[in-house]
Amino acid sequence: MLRFIFGAFVVLHGLVHLLYAGQSQRLFELVPGMLWPDGSWMFTRPLGDVATRSLASTALVLAALGLAAGGAGLLVKLTWWRPLVIGAAALSAVLYVLFWDGQFQRLPDKGGIGILISVGILIVALLARWPGLDS
């Protein structure tokens, strides 16, 4: 049961990244007035906002694919789920920090909660060796 809950949670967390990818490409607005990832402290100055949005979308799709595939791998008891989930969750946490605009207002809109979820997934995948997770 624990394997199913954690695997489904990881897949769903991955799918949320696709929403942010759509937001970053301006296909839709997740929240009215949300400009993420415009103003990224790391990328906007050297690349500009348009290139930053494209880079963010690409990274988000990669994280989404990794999390969804890793979570699905866990659900069907494939042995390679753990390194894929670890890599994708780490990518997720890092990319939201890199694409952050440096402002503390509206942190949930900028992936603040997603960072916490990704770190939680990392902790479980790295440290927890619960019997229900690998059996």
Task: Give the pLDDT confidence of 31-47 residue by residue, as tens digits.
Answer: 898 888 999 999 999 99
Residue 57 φ then ψ, to 5°? -60, -45
| Residue 110 lies in domain | 2-134
Task: State residue 133's pLDDT score.
Answer: 66
CA 111 → CA 40, 92, 94, 125, distances in Å? 12, 9, 11, 21
Q: Report which of 31, 18, 48 is spatially closest to residue 110, judged by C-alpha positions.
A: 31
Model confidence at 102, pLDDT cuts 50, 70, 90, reads confident
The whole-model pTM stands at: 0.90
Task: State residue 37's pLDDT score.
Answer: 93
Total domains in the chain come to 1
Model confidence at 15, pLDDT cuts 50, 70, 90, reads very high
